[in-house]
Amino acid sequence: MLRALPCTLMRGGTSKGLYLDARTLPAERALRDRVLLAAMGSPDPRQIDGLGGAHPLTSKVALVGPPTRADADVDYLFLQVAVDRAEVSDNQNCGNLLAGVGPWAIEQGLIAARDGRTPVRIHMVNTASVAVADVFTPGGLVEYEGDTRIDGVPGTAAAIPIEFLEVAGSSCGALFPTGSVVDRIEGVEVTCIDNGMPVVILAAADFGKSGAESPQELEADTTLGARIEAIRLALGARMNLGDVSRKTVPKMTLVAPPRASGVLVTRSFIPHRVHEAIGVLGAVSVATAAVARGSVAARVAAAGRTTAAGSTLLDIEHPSGFFTVEMDVTGEGAALRVRRAALLRTARKLMQGLLYLPSAAWGAPAC
């Protein structure tokens, strides 16, 4: 007999996923993951028997619930559901789905809306850090429609500014987890950085690439993929992430001089598929590296734009356009300190209702 699960399907930034009240799922992790695998239809390359979209960017889950810390309005746990494996990972944040957490929490009554704009302080459980999303709520109701456009998403929607509070080193323990701005591994120089997302930055030229290649071209280059994966595996322990062979971090980002009007161009392995754009927190880490003198990113980066308040706007080029990150930093090199990181996202509610799952998904895990 099928069992119903209340859920909302939303686009958050350039990703799409299920938003669920954490209290509606089993508390026991293995059983919870079983339910989520069934919800997405994994493991199956097409995810034909679930709501997944057959790609990591559309096989995501946001679990939202009451806050477990005093400085937050809600808790947000991000879970990446593998497409072709029976695997659910909480090893990273997702800044794209983060964009939908504030609107969802308001509409679910987890936080009272104000007339005009409602700030929502979100405890990102994956990394024990806080982000503040500013949600448009005229008349106390969430408004999804607006005139803000973000690259990688057709049309426009209401702007959701997001500010990240003290996310540097939230996964790896330090902004530069190896203690250096540049390391040499497998014959190439890299920058390992964590400003909300563990990222390894590599010069595209060191791999015979221009940075203009499409995600499909890069994925088809199996030699390149194997080489980048070897570097990723070698750096896991050095970034305080341990054995990363079954983890989705660190992300691997090729950088090159800008091809348009941005500060640099990126191609991001996440880690085995290549992002059609760039992840939110991945972009924040790349932007941070771009202002860190001596880093692999800084070597190819053009100057950003200075705001009236003295912060720097950095347009990060990706396969679908640009991603603008606002940075306020002090210090240089390994002594760099991030005072503020902010950006702009949009979200849209696509569907809300009941998801029907086989009753076996809720049973005890097989021994």
pLDDT score at 1: 87
- Regarding whether 189 and 94 lie in a shared domain, the answer is no
**Cα 100 from Cα 198, distance rounded (Å):** 22
pLDDT score at 329: 96
Burial 250-277 (b: 16+ CB within 10 A, else e): bbbbbbbbbeeebbbbbbbbbbebbbbb
pLDDT > 90: what percent of the chain? 97
Tokens of 210: 């221009």
- Regarding whether 195 and 123 lie in a shared domain, the answer is no
pLDDT score at 118: 98
- Which among 22, 104, 7 is positioned nearest to 347, based on CA atoms? 104
**Which long-range CB contacts under 8 A does 24-29 form with residues at least 24 apart?**
25/63, 26/362
When the pLDDT of each residue in the chain is averaged and rounded to a whole number, the result is 96
**Cα 113 from Cα 103, distance rounded (Å):** 9
The CATH number of whichever domain residue 295 belongs to comes to: 3.10.310.10
20 Cα distance to chain centroid: 18
Return the SS3 of 287: helix
Tens digits of residue pLDDT in 290-342? 999 999 999 999 999 999 889 999 999 999 999 999 999 999 989 999 999 99
**Cα 354 from Cα 35, distance rounded (Å):** 14
Enclosing domain of residue 138:
2-159+347-362
> Is 101 contained in some domain?
yes
pLDDT score at 152: 93
- Regarding whether 191 and 149 lie in a shared domain, the answer is no
pLDDT score at 166: 87
Phi-psi region of 28 (alpha: psi -120 to 50; beta: other; left: phi over 0): beta
Confidence check: pLDDT of 367 > 60: no
**Cα 33 from Cα 26, distance rounded (Å):** 9
Query: Cβ–Cβ contacts within 10 Å for residue 12, how many?
Result: 26
pLDDT score at 363: 83
User: Angle, to 10 degrees, between the axis of helix 95-107 and the axis of helix 280-290?
Assistant: 130
- Regarding whether 47 and 9 lie in a shared domain, the answer is yes
- Regarding whether 114 and 191 lie in a shared domain, the answer is no
DSSP string, 52-100: --SSGGGSEEEEEES-SSTT-SEEEEEEEEPSSSS-EE-SS--HHHHHH
- Regarding whether 284 and 221 lie in a shared domain, the answer is yes
pLDDT score at 366: 45
Tokens of 321: 């356009």
Per the CB < 8 A criterion, the answer to whether 204 and 163 are in contact is no
pTM to 2 decimal places? 0.89
The total number of structural domains in the chain stands at 2
> Is 172 contained in some domain?
no
Per the CB < 8 A criterion, the answer to whether 227 and 207 are in contact is yes
> Is 167 contained in some domain?
no
Tens digits of residue pLDDT in 60-119? 999 999 999 999 999 999 999 999 999 999 999 999 999 999 999 999 999 999 999 999
Confidence check: pLDDT of 156 > 90: yes
pLDDT > 70: what percent of the chain? 99
User: Based on C-alpha coordinates, what's the Rg of the chain?
Assistant: 20
